[in-house]
Structure 1
Amino acid sequence: MRFRSLLTIGVLLGTLSSAFGQSVSSETKDRVLLSMQNTIQRQAFVPGIDFTQWPAFLAKRQTEVDHAGDIPTFVSTINGALRDFGISHIRLLSPQNVKTRVSGVTQGFGMATQKSESGLLITAIAPKSPAAQLGLEQGDEIIQVEGIGKPVSYPVPPDNDTTALTIKRKSTGAIKHYMLAKKTYSTDQPNTLTWTNKDTAVLRIPSFSRTYSERQIEGFVAEVSQRKAKALILDLRSNGGGLVRNCQHLLSLLSQPGTPIGTSVDRRISERYVQITGGDSKDMVAIAKWCGPTSKTVKMAQQPFLGKLAILLDSRSASASEITSAVLKEQRGAVLIGRQSAGAVLVSLFLPLANTEGFEVQVPLSDYVSPGGMRLEKNPLKPDVAVEGAITETSDPVLASALKAMK
């Protein structure tokens, strides 16, 4: 099982350009949709969600599906229909998306954009990507692509491995010209431990998925304890989630053994609750209170760090990041700093679609309620100290606020 955000940022950034031009046949689309329908209606479960509505949601976009001639357009159309369920953790992945998710390696420009008044606003840059190597930054605007003013879509056609961009830089307002090349790069980001002073360390965890290393994280927390730090700042900004066991592992390093992690309400628990109590199958908080916690922290070989805690969050902090933050706030008094989280917390699985040449679908299997009785799906965590400033080369206002709070 995995906790994942609705949009996994590494997949999004990595495949913006590399998948364009991969045509998709009507036969492939039919096989994908048939396998999707069978998988969703057989496996998916969220209290109060009627997954038998999927054919109706799809029918509303049938014309778009029929006209989709390439894989990215087809996948985007299907995911638009899936969003009609109004929940996270349900989406279609193309074969390229799947490869990137598994390997952490992709090919492309490495940036995401959205329409703006002048053209296209760069909303995210993948570290180590071609865009990052050119020095492009979030907030820069693309005002021309291949000499064409006010572009309305991105990326450019796939036969262009190198693309001419005219950029208005956010930092200076200057107009600059760049040649941006598609390259293979890693979307992985490392876990890091840094010290702001002798009493305070910052543990940055970019993901609870493939890059999370139990041994490395244990070493970091052991160092914090050995150096007798008074406070630990846990940086979970843009951490979209990952494996359940990694979430439990980190919480076990920062909490006493047996600390409740919360309740995952799956189909079996929901049905037993209704059968035994006659209660409402959609009342997540009541079900969680009746069931009790389904997971707790475990005893580790090393003593947990029990000093002061602050957690840095933003709108891309999702799933396992939100669970970790909620548990540490409720059970350890951790201070949440930054922006509100994604509000995307469902337990899910990535399931291959039979006879589709590599497509997968992510389906939710259960909902989650925190130990304190808070359902996090569509209910983002709100920071105790709200900070809107962006990170620059010389300042990090969110971290600065955390250091102030730890005093």
Structure 2
Amino acid sequence: MLAAMIRTLCAAVLMTACTVSASAPAPQPVPAGNAGCTAVAAPPPQSPPPTSVNTLRQAYFCVLDNYYSGPVLDSRTLLKSAMAAYTQNLIRRGADRTGLGLPALTGDRDTDWAAFAKVLGTGDPAALRAAITGMVAGLQDNHARWINPPPPQQGGPTGTGIVGVSAEQGPQLDPAARPPLFITEVVPGSPAAEAGVRPGDIILKVDGMPVFIGDTVNQAIIGAFAADPVRLTLKRPTTGRTRTVEIGQGPLTRRPPEVTSKRLPGGVVYVRLPGFHEGGADRVIAELRDRPKAVVLDLRGNGGGSPREVTRLLGAFAHGKVTSHFCPLKGDCVPNRTDDSVPLLGSRLVVLTDRGCASACDDFSAAVKGNGLGTLVGTRTAGAVSGPGMGYLLDDGSVLILPKVRHLGPAREIIDTIGVPVDHHAPMTALDLATGRDPGLAKALALL
């Protein structure tokens, strides 16, 4: 995954995590005397101070006060994850400190923080950023994120132009992915496109590193993709030719994802929805205003978005249905329901999914399957739908994303980390992409 691709994924995660359903509890600012983090209501400041020990303190208390299971989290576990990441960063940079270690901890969050802060002293800004990242990663929650905004770009976005690979699973590489790893999307006119890189090209190595170790995807290639330039060893599936290309970063002209549609034989309309972004549901519904006999809704690569858009689009296919539940740590779950203000289409529905269908896309797919609203074709969804989150601003201008509730499916089943299984398996291969074939769409049409 290249730097441009990573930025795209982070943007998708931020959009998903900062969007909360009307059914979810409203966020409340944290008291200034405690964590000092507040719910994001505006963009971060232009020139914030550097990351400090106080920033880490804010993040620590913010997790304990605002995360879904914060009230029952062991403060010692959070600080252990933070110190592990802090010291590892120092070691990598050759800056380890003599005598730096985790102090004795008691489980009392205030006492433990005081002891932790004492051994940090003034702290190292780079290591502190690593500590926040490590602490949040220790939650093992795909919707918990710490986002440190990059400096403003001059002259527009840049990157190599490779913005999709087959092993995407929400914001990470799918640990269950099987070889080969291949490119799924290249921005036209980008450095990658000018180097002759095409969708379907199989990636064998990234800067000399194999993309699979045995049959397990090599997660280390994510960092290697950020190199400028990056060296890729590629295999063209149509010819078997292998070559190595070096691709630098350059300006990208990429239009925002749009809803697209086309008419197919037999009264079928194909609609592709790249994300559940604001207004996306209404744009899909507008494409179906003639109430076609059947709809093929392509959600492959859909990274999620707003839960409101999910319930609105589902309202075009059913009324009076529970689509999912948002559950607090204690107390009753809140059901989400179809938006019954949307007129019913009366169309048969086939949904195309893959491992890139994450978050709100997981949510939509689970509602379709659980309520018998249509047929799922493709591959299992990402299973990256722990729960909608809120953004909290820290003093260095960074943003902490924390889910406040847990997502469950329409029957209160867990979708997170498992995904939604399809009714008909129809994966896309590298050769399919290279030759323009679409087994998922072909299967959908056969079913209809």
Check whether TM > 0.5: yes
Question: Could you say what secondary structure the match of 1:241 adopts?
Answer: coil
The runs of 5 or more residues in structure 2 that have no matched partner are 13-48, 94-123, 168-172, 174-179, 212-220
Q: Say if 1:9 and 1:240, in contact at 8 Å, map to a contact too.
A: no
Cα RMSD of the aligned pairs, angstroms, is 3.9
Tell me which of 287, 292, 297 is aligned to 2:338: 297
The aligned counterpart of 1:218 is 285
Q: Say if 1:347 and 1:366, in contact at 8 Å, map to a contact too.
A: yes
Q: Say if 1:121 and 1:140, in contact at 8 Å, map to a contact too.
A: yes
**Greater per-residue helix proportion:** 1
The aligned counterpart of 1:346 is 386
When residues 214 and 155 of structure 1 are mapped into structure 2, their CA distance, relative to the original with a 3 A threshold, is closer
Q: Show CA shifts across 1:336-356 (max 9, x none).
A: 111111112133335243221
Question: Could you say what secondary structure the match of 1:388 adopts?
Answer: coil
Q: How does 1:1-400 map to 2 (within 5 A)?
A: 10-11=8-9, 28=51, 30-46=53-69, 50=73, 52=75, 53-67=77-91, 79=133, 81-96=135-150, 106-111=157-162, 125-128=185-188, 129-132=190-193, 134-141=196-203, 154-155=224-225, 158=228, 167-176=234-243, 178=245, 180-185=247-252, 186=254, 188-209=256-277, 212-223=279-290, 225=291, 229-256=292-319, 258-267=320-329, 270=330, 273=331, 287-288=332-333, 294-300=335-341, 303-356=343-396, 358-390=397-429, 391-392=432-433, 393-400=435-442
**TM-score normalised to structure 2 length:** 0.65
The aligned amino acid for 1:368 is H
Report the Cα distance in structure 2 between the residues aligned to 1:143 and 1:338, rounded to whole angstroms: 27
The runs of 5 or more residues in structure 1 that have no matched partner are 1-6, 15-25, 274-286
When residues 308 and 58 of structure 1 are mapped into structure 2, their CA distance, relative to the original with a 3 A threshold, is same
The aligned amino acid for 2:360 is A
Question: Could you say what secondary structure the match of 1:253 adopts?
Answer: coil
The percentage of counterpart residues that share the same residue type is 19
Question: Could you say what secondary structure the match of 2:142 adopts?
Answer: coil
Report the Cα distance in structure 1 between the residues aligned to 2:50 and 2:374, rounded to whole angstroms: 52
What's the CA shift for 1:108? 1.4
Report the Cα distance in structure 2 between the residues aligned to 1:176 and 1:324, rounded to whole angstroms: 40
Q: Say if 1:350 and 1:362, in contact at 8 Å, map to a contact too.
A: yes
The aligned amino acid for 1:107 is T
What's the CA shift for 1:35? 2.7
Report the Cα distance in structure 2 between the residues aligned to 1:384 and 1:168, rounded to whole angstroms: 32
Question: Could you say what secondary structure the match of 2:404 adopts?
Answer: strand
What's the CA shift for 1:196? 2.2
The aligned amino acid for 2:61 is N
